[in-house]
């Protein structure tokens, strides 16, 4: 019985190392594998921090994974397992294609990926794999936040400051923040949220500055001085109670 396994973890939890380990183990037993990955900088290789690497099929947005595996099976005679790195970047349809590889081609699929983005949300691909997988396993690595708590959240930094907006896929190095670069680090939930809330606050401030262009509306920074002589006469007689609320109805 073929199975769809989804193994997830944070950045730096050793997903690629496990991908390469499974790939190596199966090949050592004479089995045929298809290895896939999906990050631009990978250039068709899966490589681990520990210095091992292997050639991989680069999955693009247009790649039909079911067709890819079916073709490889036809060319190679058979395929025993498909091992997918960076599966969080596969789209929902591609994750469904992996399920079809299991159900229709009877080939085991080992998918590995991050669970959540730097914005603290599930990657669409990972969400679909969680929904579809026969087995779901979290890689437990005792990564620590700088405060000493267990680090469970992926954080992105620009110029050393945590951000929560931007493209999902921006290549950077894991490790401590480096000025002028996009970097990633692992934080505990509490410190991740602290940084994320600060980043959201900065965004709101930017938005506010943008809206409050001079001339758009009265200056709100201090008391508004009104020269009574400059106010048109009728306003002194009839208070403008309903005037504003009816003005926009016809537009
Ligand atoms: Zn912390």
Same domain membership, residue 90 and residue 51: yes
The whole-angstrom separation of Cα 121 and Cα 100 is 26
Residue 234 lies in a domain: no
Taking only the tens place, the pLDDT of each residue in 98-113 is 999 999 999 999 999 9
> Is position 86 annotated as part of the catalytic site?
yes
The pLDDT-based confidence of 140 (bands split at 50, 70, 90) is confident
Q: What phi and psi, each to the nearest 5 degrees, are found at residue 176?
A: -65, 155
DSSP, residue by residue, 193-234: HHHHHHHHHHHHHHHHHHH--TTSS---SSPPP--GGGS-HH
Mean pLDDT check: name the lowest of 57-66, 72-81, 172-181.
Answer: 172-181
Strand-pair category, 81-84 with 108-114: parallel
Residue 81 lies in a domain: yes
Same domain membership, residue 118 and residue 1: yes
pLDDT of the residue at 114: 94
Reply yes or no on whether the pLDDT at 153 is more than 50: yes
User: What is the average per-residue pLDDT within 105-133?
Assistant: 96
Ligand 1 center–CA 171 separation, angstroms:
24
Domain that holds residue 16: 1-141
Same domain membership, residue 134 and residue 152: no
User: What is the average per-residue pLDDT within 107-124?
Assistant: 95
Ligand 1 center–CA 233 separation, angstroms:
63
pTM over 0.85: no
Residue 239 lies in a domain: no
Reply yes or no on whether the pLDDT at 174 is more than 60: no
Ligand 1 center–CA 137 separation, angstroms:
24
pLDDT of the residue at 224: 46
Same domain membership, residue 107 and residue 156: no
Q: Around ion ligand 1, which residues have CB less than 5 A away?
A: 145, 147, 149, 188, 191
Contact 91, 83 (CB under 8 A): no
Reply yes or no on whether the pLDDT at 28 is more than 80: yes
Same domain membership, residue 126 and residue 94: yes
pLDDT of the residue at 244: 44
The whole-angstrom separation of Cα 147 and Cα 3 is 39
Same domain membership, residue 196 and residue 74: no
The whole-angstrom separation of Cα 114 and Cα 175 is 16
Instruction: Give the mean pLDDT of the chain.
Output: 81
Residue 225 lies in a domain: no
Contact 145, 177 (CB under 8 A): no
| Count of the separate structural domains present in the chain | 2
Residue 175 lies in a domain: yes
The kind and range of the H/E element at 101 are helix 92-105
Ligand 1 center–CA 49 separation, angstroms:
24
- List the CATH number of the domain containing 87: 3.40.50.300
Residue 56 lies in a domain: yes
Same domain membership, residue 151 and residue 128: no
Taking only the tens place, the pLDDT of each residue in 235-251 is 444 444 444 444 444 43
Same domain membership, residue 161 and residue 43: no
pLDDT of the residue at 40: 57
Reply yes or no on whether the pLDDT at 155 is more than 80: yes
Contact 19, 46 (CB under 8 A): yes
Same domain membership, residue 148 and residue 129: no
Residue 224 lies in a domain: no
User: What is the average per-residue pLDDT within 114-126?
Assistant: 94
Ligand 1 center–CA 99 separation, angstroms:
37
Out of 55, 67, 86, 138, which one is annotated catalytic?
Answer: 86
Same domain membership, residue 182 and residue 62: no
Taking only the tens place, the pLDDT of each residue in 29-71 is 999 999 999 875 556 777 776 666 778 888 999 999 999 999 9
Ligand 1 center–CA 167 separation, angstroms:
25
The whole-angstrom separation of Cα 240 and Cα 238 is 6
User: What is the average per-residue pLDDT within 220-225?
Assistant: 45
Same domain membership, residue 11 and residue 51: yes
Ligand 1 center–CA 142 separation, angstroms:
13
More confident residue, 44 or 159: 159
Same domain membership, residue 180 and residue 116: no
Residue 29 lies in a domain: yes
Reply yes or no on whether the pLDDT at 137 is more than 60: yes
């Amino acid at each position: 019985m073929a199975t769809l396994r989804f193994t997830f973890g944070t950045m730096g939890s050793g997903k690629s190392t496990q991908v390469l380990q499974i790939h190596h183990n199966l090949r050592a037993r004479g089995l045929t594998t298809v290895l896939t990955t999906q990050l631009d900088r990978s250039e068709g290789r899966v490589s681990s921090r520990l210095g091992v690497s292997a050639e991989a099929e680069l999955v693009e947005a247009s790649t039909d994974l079911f067709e890819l595996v079916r073709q490889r099976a036809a060319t190679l005679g058979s395929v025993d397992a498909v091992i997918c790195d960076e599966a969080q970047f596969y789209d929902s349809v591609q994750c469904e294609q992996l399920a079809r590889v299991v159900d229709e081609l009877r080939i085991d699929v080992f998918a590995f990926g991050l669970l959540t983005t730097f914005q603290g949300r599930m990657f669409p691909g990972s969400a679909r794999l969680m929904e579809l997988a026969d087995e779901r396993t979290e890689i437990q690595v005792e990564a620590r936040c700088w405060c000493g708590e267990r680090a469970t959240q992926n954080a992105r930094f620009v110029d050393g400051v945590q951000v929560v907006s931007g493209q999902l896929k921006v290549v950077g190095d894991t490790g401590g923040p480096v000025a002028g670069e996009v970097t990633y680090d692992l934080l505990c939930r509490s410190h991740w949220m602290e940084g994320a809330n600060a980043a959201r606050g900065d965004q709101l401030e930017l938005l506010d500055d943008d809206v409050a262009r001079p001339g758009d509306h009265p200056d709100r920074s201090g008391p508004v001085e009104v020269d009574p002589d400059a106010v048109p006469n009728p306003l002194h007689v009839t208070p403008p109670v309903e005037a504003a609320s009816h003005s926009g109805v016809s537009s």
